[in-house]
């Protein structure tokens, strides 16, 4: 209590202790006010109005956005409040696709739960008569705008926590929707497939893309040998769907359940994590000795890798070339294990059970495809595998525990902690310390890199030098850190990045609610599992040692590099067609296109395109576009110029970029619009060829 301050909630005195809003105080009083748009880790939005309460002398207020004041008298359950809440639910249902029985979120839908809780038994309003298309383009999530209640949770998660912002509100009034830019599909924009939007969505508007049917098809195919690998974070979360608390280790029950479902072999991804530690440590110590490509960034998180490819292509060489544990396992299984079984790689069907939706994208990357055969055929999230267990009628709670199969079922504690933020860095430290010092590491716990803080820093002395580390989770926090590194304000040797808050324990495919409290408990469960195993360092795993002796030779050697490493490169921002600008110079009926530069095939026009992809947009491309419109009009060239927005000229590090009749000019700031008109557009409109002859000379001119 602070200075004896308190408020009265439904007749109960509740002390104030630094709470930021009434909702927190009311929940402290043991009253669970309903909300849709409130998340303690996101900004206060106050749109859904479900948390309405009556303040004596102040009327109705939204509890989430109202700060508490000493002496306030609050009533949470008056007749007026209850009636308004039911009306809000009715209005939401009236604008909602009510195919609840076939919805992916049925049984776990907040709208469904609150309708039942508040006693809404009928909807007195009609249903919406317009069905918007469902976006299934993404490998990670499905977006159904017909089930969206406009709470804005996904918008704020993507923008505030992940720092990407591929979703936002568009249009006005009854036409308002949450959509990617220009109503593009999710696969066409900068989505990194982390699935955090689906993790916070209270309805079925954003859900994990299910591959359960494909998994059943493979299991029932007599020609396929189907094997599973289970990620570390799954074992401390899957039990939540069966009444177990977050963090309780259910490894043995998962293995038993998958065997009953029909998997031929069940292995542990933690084994591949040990393999990753060996490769990443060898790579790291080599870079450290040479002082090259530092800091080394971890490569286990596919959402982070795609984020770097899109936004920080200059740092891509610093990312470890090691494949993720998922892809190392797939490679070893297809290249070596299939051979030992006497079957073709295409007849060995590898299914990953992961906490992560981005793993679905990763498994499809062409880098992890050999001769048309994927190293990992299918990825099931924790949510999907629990659905398969329930579909099979298995009583999960009553299962006797079972053990992983050999040879890939044995792992060290270092491999287990990969599933929580800081775990990869700690696992590498356990190996790197011994490699650098030549001494056995007695205390394997590096507690400095543990915890759920978005950024942790540590310095470890090993081999006569200090190793500087940073551990970051959440891509918004990663962006802040990378910017500091790029500006020279921070310097590290090793940086671990996980896209999801808390690391893999908070993955987009984990059970909901995926709260901070749940993530903390799952993380503690992994550290407890680490303590329970006898071998806690990857280099002590005898199966890994045997694998090198039999197939891979040595860590980071020639054979290991072919099987366990890869390469990444810059990735274009947004793909798709040009965008027509109605009412602008050159737009409208008969305007030319980027392909032909003509108007109805009769009047030749200068084709001018401004890239509005993410990188150029962040550098002011829209202001460039507007200034070009003004300058073209001022120059009297509107009838001779086809001016439009487009994506993407692949000059992302030099934007904003403008194309004039196919010639790309980079570094065009808004104040240079007039310069572009006079030096490039006007000569082309007059039929002159006096503009610079190459984009590189244009770059130089712009710099001058």
Known active-site residue 214: no
Q: pLDDT tens across 385-409, in order? A: 999 999 999 999 999 999 999 999 9
CA-based radius of gyration for the chain: 28
Per-residue pLDDT, 598? 34
Cα(540)–Cα(529) distance, rounded to whole angstroms? Answer: 17
Cα(378)–Cα(356) distance, rounded to whole angstroms? Answer: 13
Cα(252)–Cα(258) distance, rounded to whole angstroms? Answer: 10
Long-range contacts of 332-338 (CB under 8 A, 24+ apart): 332/272, 332/275, 332/408, 332/547, 332/551, 332/563, 332/564, 333/227, 333/375, 333/408, 334/370, 334/373, 334/375, 335/370, 335/551, 335/563, 336/550, 336/551, 336/563, 337/408
Known active-site residue 595: no
Q: pLDDT tens across 429-473, in order? A: 999 999 999 999 989 999 999 999 999 999 999 888 899 999 999
Known active-site residue 90: no
Known active-site residue 283: yes
Cα(103)–Cα(110) distance, rounded to whole angstroms? Answer: 13
Known active-site residue 398: no
Residue percentage of the chain with pLDDT more than 70: 92
What's the whole-number average pLDDT of the chain?
88
Q: How many helices (H) and strands (E) does the chain have?
A: 24, 25
Q: Predicted confidence band at 242 (pLDDT cuts at 50, 70, 90)? A: very high
Residue 101: CB partners within 8 Å, gap ≥ 6?
none
DSSP H helices in 220-334? 251-261, 269-290, 302-311, 325-332
Tell whether the model's pLDDT for residue 255 goes beyond 90. yes
Long-range contacts of 260-265 (CB under 8 A, 24+ apart): 260/392, 260/394, 260/399, 261/219, 261/388, 261/389, 261/392, 261/394, 262/219, 262/220, 262/226, 263/219, 263/226, 263/227, 263/228, 263/351, 264/225, 264/226, 264/227, 265/225, 265/227, 265/228, 265/405
Q: pLDDT tens across 193-225, in order? A: 999 999 999 999 999 999 999 999 999 999 999
Among candidate residues 24, 188, 240, 280, the one labeled active-site is 280
Known active-site residue 504: yes
* Cα angle value 185/186/191 (rounded, 5°): 150
> With contact defined as beta carbons under 8 Å apart, do 46 and 64 qualify?
yes
Among candidate residues 103, 191, 300, 500, the one labeled active-site is 300
Among candidate residues 24, 104, 240, 283, the one labeled active-site is 283
Among candidate residues 299, 320, 659, 691, the one labeled active-site is 320
Domain ranges in the chain are 6-77, 88-208, 212-564, 598-703
Among candidate residues 20, 56, 367, 466, the one labeled active-site is 367
Q: pLDDT tens across 471-517, in order? A: 999 999 999 999 999 999 999 999 999 999 999 999 999 999 899 99
End-to-end CA distance of the chain: 63
> With contact defined as beta carbons under 8 Å apart, do 306 and 249 qualify?
no
Among candidate residues 109, 154, 504, 616, the one labeled active-site is 504
Among candidate residues 362, 496, 520, 631, the one labeled active-site is 362
Specify the fold of 88-208: Alpha-Beta Plaits (3.30.70)
Tell whether the model's pLDDT for residue 597 goes beyond 70. no
Joined together, the tokens standing for residue 297 give 């960034």
Which pTM does this prediction carry? 0.80
Q: Considering only CA atoms, which of 85, 166, 71 is closest in space to residue 119?
A: 85
Known active-site residue 362: yes
Per-residue pLDDT, 127? 75
CA atoms within a 13 Å half-sphere pointing along the CA-CB vector of 313: 12
Q: Do domains 6-77 and 598-703 have the same CATH topology?
A: no
**Is residue 497 helix, strand or coil?**
strand
Per-residue pLDDT, 579? 55
Known active-site residue 19: no
Q: How many CB atoms lie within 10 A of CB 697?
A: 11
CATH 3.30.420.240 fits 212-564, yes or no: no
Per-residue pLDDT, 100? 85
Residue 472: CB partners within 8 Å, gap ≥ 6?
454, 455, 456, 478, 481, 495, 496, 497, 498
CATH of 598-703, one of 3.40.30.10, 3.30.390.50, 3.40.50.11540, 3.40.50.300: 3.40.30.10
Q: What is the mean pLDDT of residues 553-582?
A: 75
Among candidate residues 359, 521, 605, 654, the one labeled active-site is 359
CATH of domain 6-77: 3.10.20.740
């Amino acid at each position: 209590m602070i200075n004896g301050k308190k408020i009265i909630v439904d007749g109960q005195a509740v002390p104030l202790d630094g709470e930021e809003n009434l909702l927190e105080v009311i929940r402290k009083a043991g009253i669970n006010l309903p909300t849709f748009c409130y998340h303690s880790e996101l900004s206060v939005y106050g749109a859904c109005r479900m948390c309405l309460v009556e303040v004596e002398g102040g009327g109705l207020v939204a509890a989430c956005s109202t700060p508490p004041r000493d002496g306030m008298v609050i009533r949470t359950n008056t007749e007026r409040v209850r009636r308004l809440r039911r009306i809000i639910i009715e209005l939401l249902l009236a604008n909602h696709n009510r195919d609840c029985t076939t919805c992916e979120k049925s049984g776990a839908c907040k709208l469904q739960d609150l309708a039942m809780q508040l006693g809404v038994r009928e909807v007195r309003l009609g249903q919406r008569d317009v069905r918007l298309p469902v976006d299934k383009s993404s490998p990670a999530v499905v977006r159904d705008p017909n089930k969206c209640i406009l709470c804005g949770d996904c918008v704020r998660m993507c923008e505030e926590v992940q720092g990407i912002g591929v979703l936002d509100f568009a249009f006005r009034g009854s036409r308002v929707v949450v959509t990617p830019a220009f109503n593009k599909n999710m696969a066409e924009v900068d989505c990194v497939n982390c699935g955090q939007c689906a993790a916070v969505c209270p309805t079925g508007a954003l859900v994990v893309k299910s591959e359960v049917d494909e998994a059943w098809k493979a299991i029932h195919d007599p020609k396929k040998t189907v094997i599973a690998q289970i990620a570390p974070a799954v074992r401390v979360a899957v039990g939540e769907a069966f009444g177990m608390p977050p963090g309780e280790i259910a490894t043995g029950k998962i293995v038993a359940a998958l065997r009953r479902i029909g998997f031929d072999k069940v292995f542990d991804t933690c084994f591949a994590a040990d393999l990753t530690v060996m490769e990443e440590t060898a790579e790291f110590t080599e870079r450290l000795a040479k002082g090259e490509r530092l800091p080394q960034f971890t490569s286990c998180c596919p959402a982070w890798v795609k984020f770097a490819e899109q936004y920080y292509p200059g740092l891509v060489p610093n990312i470890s070339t090691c494949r993720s544990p998922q892809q190392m396992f797939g490679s070893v299984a297809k290249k070596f294990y299939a051979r030992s079984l006497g079957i073709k790689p295409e007849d060995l069907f590898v299914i990953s059970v992961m906490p992560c939706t981005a793993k679905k994208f990763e498994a499809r990357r062409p880098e992890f495809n050999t001769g048309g055969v994927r190293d990992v055929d299918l990825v099931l999230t924790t949510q999907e595998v629990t659905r398969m267990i329930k579909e099979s009628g298995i009583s999960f709670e009553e299962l006797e525990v079972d053990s992983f199969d050999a040879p890939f079922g044995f792992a060290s504690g270092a491999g287990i902690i990969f599933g929580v933020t800081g775990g990869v860095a700690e696992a590498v430290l356990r190996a790197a310390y011994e490699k650098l010092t030549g001494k056995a590491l007695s205390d394997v716990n590096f507690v400095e890199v543990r915890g759920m803080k978005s950024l942790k820093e540590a310095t470890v002395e090993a081999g006569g030098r200090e190793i500087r580390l940073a551990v970051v989770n959440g891509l918004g926090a990663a962006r802040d850190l990378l910017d500091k590194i790029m500006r020279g304000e921070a310097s590290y040797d090793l940086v671990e990045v996980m896209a999801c808050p808390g690391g893999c324990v908070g993955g987009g495919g984990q059970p909901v609610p995926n709260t901070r409290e749940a993530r903390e408990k799952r993380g503690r469960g992994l550290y407890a599992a680490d303590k329970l195993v006898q071998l806690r360092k990857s280099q002590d795993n005898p199966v890994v040692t045997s694998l090198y002796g039999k197939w891979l030779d040595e860590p980071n050697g020639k054979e290991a590099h072919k099987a366990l490493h890869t390469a990444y490169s810059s990735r274009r921002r947004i793909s798709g067609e040009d965008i027509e600008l109605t009412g602008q110079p050159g737009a409208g009926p008969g305007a030319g296109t980027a392909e032909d530069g003509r108007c109805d095939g009769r009047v030749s026009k200068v084709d001018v395109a401004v890239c509005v992809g993410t990188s150029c947009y962040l550098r002011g491309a829209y202001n460039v576009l507007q200034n070009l419109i003004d300058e073209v009009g001022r120059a009297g060239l509107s009838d001779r110029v086809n001016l439009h927005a487009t994506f993407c000229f692949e000059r992302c590090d030099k934007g904003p970029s403008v194309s004039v009749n196919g010639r790309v000019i980079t570094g065009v700031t808004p104040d240079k619009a007039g310069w572009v008109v006079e030096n490039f557009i006007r000569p082309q409109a007059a039929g002159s060829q006096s503009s610079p002859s190459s984009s590189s000379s244009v770059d130089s001119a712009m710099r001058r």
